[in-house]
Amino acid sequence: MNHENDHQGMPASQEPIHELRAHLDFESESWNGSGQDLKKTADGAGKDDMNFWHDAFDPAREMSAYHRLAIEPMRMNDLLSIWKFGSTSREGRNIILDCEVACAKVDDPLKVLRTLHQRTVDLVGRDTAEGLLILDDDALALYAASFEINELQMVRVNGPIDRGDITAMLENATSGNSILEAEMRSECSVEWRLNGPAIIESRNLDMIAAALGADMARYVEAFLGLEAGNIPRPPQETMIQLLARTNSILVSPQDTQIADASIEIGIRSNVQGAIESELVFLRPHGIWQPREAA
């Protein structure tokens, strides 16, 4: 398929079409702890299969398990819209571990920062708040709306935190380890860059599915030359089924075509591989449908 001429009339303000790339990993001590392969019985089955799966789904052993999604592009507005899927509580605390800001989008940025600092103090106390922004969801939305962010490292924790918790998370972050491994009450984290892949870690697969779905909707909007928000996100179940087939996803314009009133999206696991599955968006009805590749 060739779509070089499909979008020559695209307005200058319209975002260009980018390939959608995503890769999913699952980290778990129960799955990886022994480092030994299952011994095979004569019929080819692992004799420890039942114990393995029993352990894998034991909540007491799986507190450290989490999903890691590398995805690009990921827009800040979409990240904030799916952030709630990683949380089990509306009382979660969003800890800004690192942030690079290009400029302010408001007339009085210092006033905003003072407001955010006071919200942090109200949330966790003055000692824990020193030098940090720890925000509830409303304050996080204010922060994102007030500043042009280039890079952001953030974690969401469900429950009270102190300075020791934050120190442990910062040590993990600087050593290249997952923040979720430092604090069991942490529910999700993100390393976001304006021009680069976002690394989203979450104990909840719904957040991973929502992130992929948001990017898929933005991809179709760019392909059709529409403004953001015109295409609904695919259902969670559809995205989870897609991730169950392959942990790597590549969507590109040459594998996307308009057929009557539908948009047919071919999905590969790598550049050299064949199209393994398809996702169809029916424009008149706003419905997404998965489909096996022909």
pLDDT tens digit sequence for 172-206: 888 888 888 887 788 999 999 998 999 999 998 89
With a pLDDT cut of 90, the percent of the chain lying above it is: 50
Q: Tokens at residue 33, please?
A: 């702890």
Confidence of residue 212 (pLDDT cuts 50, 70, 90): very high
pLDDT of residue 89: 74
The answer to whether residue 4 scores a pLDDT higher than 80 is: no
Residue 116, amino acid: L
Question: In this predicted structure, which of 34-38, 91-95, 112-116, 276-280 has the lowest mean pLDDT?
Answer: 34-38
Beta bridge partners of 199: 70, 191
Distance in angstroms (rounded) separating the CA atoms of residues 52 and 30: 8
Q: Tokens at residue 195, please?
A: 């021009």
- CA distance from start to end of the chain: 15
Nearest-Å Rg of the Cα atoms of the chain is 21
The answer to whether residue 153 scores a pLDDT higher than 60 is: yes
Residues whose CB falls within 8 Å of the CB of residue 179, separated by 6 or more in sequence, listed in order:
97, 155, 169, 172, 173, 186, 189, 201
pLDDT of residue 92: 85
pLDDT of residue 63: 52
Mean pLDDT of 4-31: 63
pLDDT of residue 174: 85
pLDDT tens readout for residues 216-241:
999 999 999 998 889 999 999 999 98
The answer to whether residue 58 scores a pLDDT higher than 50 is: no
Element (H, E) at 54: helix 49-56
Helix (H, G, I), strand (E, B) or coil at 2: coil
Backbone angles phi, psi at 14, to 5 degrees: -75, 135
Model pTM score: 0.81
The whole-chain average pLDDT of the chain stands at 83
Question: In this predicted structure, which of 3-17, 92-106, 172-186, 199-213 has the lowest mean pLDDT?
Answer: 3-17
Confidence of residue 29 (pLDDT cuts 50, 70, 90): low
Mean pLDDT of 106-125: 95
Higher pLDDT pick, 217 / 87: 217
Helix (H, G, I), strand (E, B) or coil at 43: coil
pLDDT of residue 85: 86
